[in-house]
Structures are given as C-alpha cells and as structure tokens.
A and B are shown apart, each in its own frame.
Chain A
Amino acid sequence: MKKLLLFLLLSSFLLLITACNFGDETSSEQDGDDGATETENDSSEEEGTSDESSGEKVINLVEESDIPTLDSSHAHDGIGFTVLNNVKEGLYRGDENHTPQLAMAEDHQVSEDGTVHTFTIRDAQWSNGDPVTAHDFEFAWKRTFEEVGHYNVMFETASVLNATDIINGDKSPDELGVEATDDKTLVVTLENANALFKQLLTFPTFLPQNQSYVEEMGEDYGTEAENVLYNGPFVLDSWSHDQEWTYKKNPDYWDASAVNLDQINVNVVKETSTAVNLWETEEVDRIELSSSYVDQYTDAEEFEVIELPDIVFMRFNHNLEQFQNANVRKAIDMAIDKEGLTNTILNDGSLPLNGLVPLNFSNSPDNHEDFREINGQFNEGTVEDAQALWEEGLSEIGSDGFNVALTVSDDENHQKAAEYIKNQLETNLDGLTVEINTVPFSARLEQEKAVDYEMVISTWGPDYSDPMTFIDMWVTDGPANRMDFSNEEYDELVQQARVETDAAARYELLLQAEQILMDEMHIAPLYQGAYSMLTRTFVKDVVHHPAAPEWDYKWADVE
C-alpha cells in the first residue's frame, strides 16, 4: 500500500513536470543554441541570446502581458497590434517617420473626387505558399463586421462606404465598400474623400486574411502560432501562452532584404522589478522602467525616455452649475502645478500638458511644426492669477466655495496624481475642498459614460496618428465626450475637417477646434505619459510609432 502510494506520488510528479510547458522551451532553446548564444556575457548559458559572431541576429524583449489574439478582426490591444504589425502586412506600412508607405499594395490610384481608391496588390505570398490576393483584403474587412470586431469602427473613421450603416444594422457586412475585381485589384469606395485614409490603412484591423485558411481553422483561428498565416517581415515561430513568443525572419517576405534580425524572443514579465533583475542578468535587451527605478538608471547610457501621446486629464461634469463657469474651470486648471506633478510625483518621463493634443504627436503638413507648438500652451499662470480667476468665478455663480468629488481609478499613478491635485487645489483655492473617490477602472468608465461624477481623472490614447483622434472626442453626444459638453461651432469645425481634403486647411480647422475647447478649459489637461526605457546599445533602429501599431521591428538591427 505504501509503495503504491509512493509510486503514484512520484509518477504524478513526473507527469507534472512534463505538463509544465518546459517542452516548448527546449525546442525553441535548441533553435537558439544552433547558432545564437550571447558572447557579451558569461551569465546566459541557459538562454539563447544574441551573438554576432555566429551570424544570427537575435534580440530578447519583454512584454507585460500575453497576446490576446492573433486574429486581426478581433485584435484590440497594443501588444496584439504590435505582433500583428510585425508578422503581417496590409496595404500600407508606417515607415520610421510614421509616414504610410506602400506595402502589400504596389500601386494606389485615387479618383478625382477622392472617393474611389484602386490598389494593385504586389506579388507576395502567405506562409503556406498561397499568393496574397485582393480577395484576402475584401474577405478580412467584411469578416471584421461579421465577427463584430472591437475596431470595426475604424472603417467608419476611414469613411469606407456603408460602414456606418452596417454598424447600425441597416445594411449587411457584404455591402461594405470594398471589392476585389480580380486577384490583383482591390477597389475601395469611400463615402467621401478622407484625408486620414492612407494613415488608417496601417492599422491592423485593415490587414488581409486568407479565406480558405480562416474557414478551415474555424474557431481556432488566431489562438496559436500555428493557427495563423503570415505575410509580414517576421513569422511567429512559437507562442507559449503567458510565457513567451518568438519571431523569426520571414524568408518569403517581399522586402526580406530590408529585414536584419533573424529572431526576436519576447518573454512575458509582469513585474517591473523582475524585468530589472532580468536586465541585470543580461537575459533581456530592452525593458520599461517604473518611476521608482528611474533615478537609479537615469545616467546609464542605455537609458532613454520616449514621450507617449497618451494623455491624462480631468473631465468636468458640464451639467453642474459650478463647472458651467469658465473662470472656475480655468482657476482649477491653473492652480495645479503640473510640472511638480510630472517631475516630482510621477518622475517617469511624463510631460506636463497644457492643451488637448500632446507634444511630439503631429506635425503640420506644410512646415512640419508640432501641433502643440503652433497652438501653444493654454491657461498658464501663477497661483495668484488662479486665485483671481477663482474669486471672479465664485462671485459669478454666487458661491463662496464648494466641495468637489474627484473620481479616480485605482491606478497607482492616477491615485498619486489625485492626492497631489487635492493638495494643490485645497492649498491654492480658498473655499474649495476635494474629496477623492477611488473606484476600479471599469467603474470609473461606467460613471464617465453615464456622466455620473463631478470631476474625473481620465485618459485617452490615440487610435491613429492624427490630431483628429483627440479632437473628435468632444463633438456633441460623441461616444468619448462623456461630460455633456456641447458647442455648435466646435461640431461644425470637426465636420468640416472630416471632409476637407486640403491638408493645410484641414490642419487649420483642427487647430481652431482645439482653441475653442481650451480657451475656456472645458477639460483640465494634466500630463502626457512616457516610457522610461533601458535598451542595450547594440540594439538599433527599433521604430516606435505614436499610435497603434506601436513597435515595428522590420528595420531593427544588432551591431
């Protein structure tokens, strides 16, 4: 009996070890060992890392969570978009300056009124050998509506014919304005000329899918590395869920000569402290730091800050009497020392924000000047200025002060910011008391959408590289408005900008719209985020785009 028990215990233990996915590891490790072992250090015997002498160029990265799906119709997060962008390719790909360049399309003709776009698909093939055809695009785009993908709204943003009607249920996905007239020709019809169209085509929702393959895979499509076809610079060689995935150079990629890396290993690491330790043991070549590590590494030559176009700001509930008063809003915005917030409290490279559109996000089409610099900083002033505005505002609404509830989600940085704002406002503005109301992220979102808050610390990241992604948030009853702000002139400007095809005139409209919103501080911008990163000096030319897809490794290299 005892022997039997012992035997059972031992065998279940062995079973356990074999069930631990170590097997997947050994296979990819062997791949690595074939020619890739790090020469720079002696600590990485067990990991296959980069080695220039053997000719294989390998880099090791970390991501903080797993890939949710490889199905481009369903992809909905930064990590998924980055992976898809590197293993697949659409009609256009953003280059190192974030400008869309022809990719799967080798030619793009536009009709005179700007509504009919004819693409010629280049000779390229899927990783199973099938040619990439115009039908793959038509199929994938329509499928996104059938599958109710997260981002089918991008087709509406791109003004693709009937996209709005399909979302509203008035038309069927089959009536989308896209048609493959033959294997090589794709005709896309727009409702109206759209200045954003080319830019949007770099977004992963517009990627092609091979119909017969997708149908053969059924529900399994996109759930494993083996269940997707690739046509991008890399293929996904292995993917152990929540553990790691490996890119390998795609030898059949049409522009394979431009691709320098042979392999990219990505490990899922959720804790910054763990990533730092892996950096120290030289197992990974690039990590993101949290603010507590910034001071420690700020002088390292591998340290760099990448400003992000993700903005953090406060919404005012425009239904409340006190927040209908411009002076009150301006006083609240001005009374906060935003530099103190970013430099002392957050200390992660974040920049103070005094406008809607962040810095380093968009340049004007004619003289390439930054949007933020053209429109300048709004509502800057001293504490005394803020107090004067506050007194004026209070007398206008006939009040001698009030209490305000500040809703904030349970994000660490946002909570720090909320404490700081409470302190600043209560110190600087007489008669204002702030009560912080911390809720889970999803609850914050529900309260925002129901406009059931007084002030709320909100966030927004761009969907594409154009100021419109921030500007059109504030149209009357827009889905991202969430504060019952309504201004006819603003709505009018946004509408004009949507159909304006002259780039310079369109930019001017966007600048004007921002001025309307910010002259009276309908929101109180706080800061734009940043990555504080450590990257090994031998890693070159990794491209970071301001909007999804975030990272492009096509041109990356190891020196």
Chain B
Amino acid sequence: MLRYILQRSGYMIVTLFIIVTITFFLMQLLPGTPFSNPDKLSERQLELMEEKYGLDKPVPVQYITYIGNLLQGDLGLSFQYEGRTVGSMIGERIGPSALIGGQAVVIGLLLGVVLGVISALKHNSFLDYGSVFIAVLGMSIPSFVFAALLQYYIGVRLEWLPAALWKDYSHSFLPSIALSVLVIATVARFIRTEMLEVLGQDYVNTARAKGIGEVVVILKHVLRNALIPVVTVLGPLAVSIMTGTLVVEKIFAVPGLGEQFTLSILVNDYSVIMGITLFYSALFIFIVFVVDILYGVLDPRIRITGGKNDG
C-alpha cells in the first residue's frame, strides 16, 4: 500500500509539472499585455513596464525563472492587483468558494441519494417518474437560472434569506442551494440506474432468502454497491464546484475563486492564471487519487494495487 501511494505521488508531481509547462507556454499565445488599461499605454511605456517585470526576456528564460520561484513556493505577484501575492489571493478567495461548494455537495449528495433510492425502489411508479423529472430538470437547466430565481423569489420577494453579498453565514445558503441542484440531479440518476442493476443481482436475492430485513438489504448490500460509480463522478464534480463557479459567484456577489480565475484570463494576469491552474490541478489530481483509494473501502473486490504480493 505504501509503495502504491509513493508511486502515485511521483506520478502526480510529474503530471503537475507537465500541466504547469503546457499552461505557461499556452498562456503566451494570449493576445495583449497583463497591464491594466492598455488603451492608454504608449509603446514606450509598455516597453518600460515589460522591462521592470521581466516580460521583455525570451519566453524560455521567463519559464525557468518561474519554475525556480515555484520550487521555492513563490507563486509571484499579480499584475492586476499590484503588489498582492498570488498565494494570498488564492488563500483569501478559496474559502467562500469551498464553503458554498462544500455545502452544495453535501445537500446534493443527501437529497440525490434519497431521490435515487425512492426512484429505484418504486420503479416505474409516479414517484419514480417524478424524481426522474426532477433529475432531468436539474441536469438541463443551468445553475444560474436557479440562482437568479432563488435570488429574486427567496431573497427579494420573500426576504427569507439575504439576496446577495457576503456578510455572515446566512449569505452562503442561497448560493449553496443554487449549486446543489446539479449535484442532486447527477447523484439521483446514477443511484437509480445502479440500484436497479444491483437489485437484480443474485447476492441480493441470497440476502433476502437468508431472511435479512429489507432495510438492511437495501442499505448494506444494494446502496453500498450502487455508490461506487457515484464516488467516481462525485470526486471531480466536488472539486469543480468547490473551487469556484463563475456565474453563481457573480450573481450572489460572493468573493470566490471561480470569478477570479475567469477574470485573470480575460486580463492576462499571467501569474494568477498560473497560480490558480496549478492549485486546481493539484486538487483535482489529489481527489482522483483519494477516489481510487475509496474504491477499495467501498468494494473489497477492487484491489487498487492488483498484485498478489501487496494487500
């Protein structure tokens, strides 16, 4: 097991390195400069500024400098927010994103499992059609529509929850609910399909034949096996939701990371693009790794290490 983890860590570092390299060179293809208000900058002024920030050097030299700084843990300074370190920018803005995303995943997982289970158990009933309908709605309607509706009806008309801004904990509810819809739909669909398949398996019949109560059969034998594919999709989905979603953050005026990332690409803020890409990829790779480990926990038949010597 330890050998497996070490090996995987090695791969993860190599993957990250490749991502950083590709992003760095792709980024150079973006038109324009990282300096704000370029409309007003004369050629001479641009030259002076590029010289000051080392952008006049050949791209490979800039790359080596960047990697050098990176190895020392220095992500550089933002161009747009002069003087602010990329590390502190990510640090400040991941919190709100992770909070609303995390809550969305929890809400989505709970409701999604309930919907999926009901749907599978009451197969081809009205309840089933109802939850399938909800799932299809959730998949096909983009979250910003829910966000706008929630904001208007719950925030403005009913005034049950704050419409927007980021002041106290209650401000995180509406964005979380808006984001959770996609998770509910995804989870419900997977659970339903998988449970229907598992319900037909021989070992379920065996369990029932042994006289085990229906609830225990469902929870211990059916649901547990149906969860495996859910874990596969949920990992990456959770990462992408928790690292920030542009539209929902914009609508609810949440100072999150998704909005920052999009903005940095639009304005060529090189160091921020690199920093967030690196952060996002690292998290993603790590979650995929955790998911692989979880497979083994959920289903002892899956041996991640595979070989006879291990385990």
The interface of chain A, by Cβ under 8 A from chain B, is 13, 16-17, 19-22, 25-26, 29, 43, 46-47, 66, 68-69, 71, 74, 76-77, 147-148, 150-153, 167-168, 219-223, 240-244, 267-271, 273-274, 277-278, 280-281, 283, 439-443, 445-446, 449, 459-460, 463, 479
Interface contact A277-B48, CB-CB below 8 Å = no
Given contacts A76-B36, A77-B36, A443-B32, contact A25 B102 (CB under 8 A): no
Q: Is B52 among interface residues, defined by CB-CB distance under 8 A?
A: yes
Given contacts A167-B45, A222-B82, A274-B252, contact A150 B36 (CB under 8 A): yes
Chain B CB within 10 Å — which of A76, A222, A274 has the most?
A274
Q: Is B308 among interface residues, defined by CB-CB distance under 8 A?
A: no
Q: Is B49 among interface residues, defined by CB-CB distance under 8 A?
A: yes
Please measure, in the bound complex, the distance between the C-alpha atom of A428 and the C-alpha atom of B90, giving whole angstroms: 53
Given contacts A167-B44, A273-B148, contact A25 B36 (CB under 8 A): no
Interface contact B102-A16, CB-CB below 8 Å = yes
| List of B residues within 8 angstroms of A69 by Cβ | 81-83
Please measure, in the bound complex, the distance between the C-alpha atom of A21 and the C-alpha atom of B92, giving whole angstroms: 8
Complex: chain A residue closest to B34, CB-CB: A442
Which of A242, A281, A446 contacts B255, CB < 8 Å? A242
A-B contact count (CB 8 A): 164
Which of A13, A43, A446 contacts B102, CB < 8 Å? A13
| List of B residues within 8 angstroms of A439 by Cβ | 31
The interface of chain B, by Cβ under 8 A from chain A, is 30-33, 35-45, 48-49, 51-52, 77, 80-84, 89, 92-93, 95-96, 98-99, 102, 148, 151-152, 155-156, 159, 162-170, 172, 250-253, 255, 259-260, 266, 268
Please measure, in the bound complex, the distance between the C-alpha atom of A90 and the C-alpha atom of B216, giving whole angstroms: 76
| List of B residues within 8 angstroms of A243 by Cβ | 166, 255
Min C-beta distance of B112 to chain A, whole Å: 18
Please measure, in the bound complex, the distance between the C-alpha atom of A243 and the C-alpha atom of B169, giving whole angstroms: 15
Which 6 interchain pairs have the tightest Cβ spacing? A442-B32, A479-B42, A19-B95, A242-B255, A69-B82, A443-B31
Interface contact B163-A278, CB-CB below 8 Å = yes
Interface contact B167-A22, CB-CB below 8 Å = yes
Please measure, in the bound complex, the distance between the C-alpha atom of A147 and the C-alpha atom of B39, giving whole angstroms: 20
Which of B40, B48, B83, B102 contacts A219, CB < 8 Å? B83
Complex: chain B residue closest to A449, CB-CB: B43
Please measure, in the bound complex, the distance between the C-alpha atom of A147 and the C-alpha atom of B40, giving whole angstroms: 17
Complex: chain B residue closest to A69, CB-CB: B82
Interface contact A274-B40, CB-CB below 8 Å = no
| List of B residues within 8 angstroms of A460 by Cβ | 39
| List of B residues within 8 angstroms of A168 by Cβ | 44
Interface contact B167-A25, CB-CB below 8 Å = yes
Which of A21, A29, A241, A463 contacts B40, CB < 8 Å? A463
Given contacts A16-B102, A76-B36, A443-B32, contact A270 B165 (CB under 8 A): no
Given contacts A69-B81, A445-B39, contact A17 B164 (CB under 8 A): no
Complex: chain A residue closest to B50, CB-CB: A148
Offer 9 A-B interface pairs, CB within 8 angstroms, sorted by A.
Answer: A21-B95, A21-B255, A22-B167, A25-B166, A243-B255, A273-B148, A274-B251, A442-B30, A445-B38
Given contacts A43-B159, A446-B31, contact A16 B253 (CB under 8 A): no
Min C-beta distance of B180 to chain A, whole Å: 15
Please measure, in the bound complex, the distance between the C-alpha atom of A284 and the C-alpha atom of B102, giving whole angstroms: 29
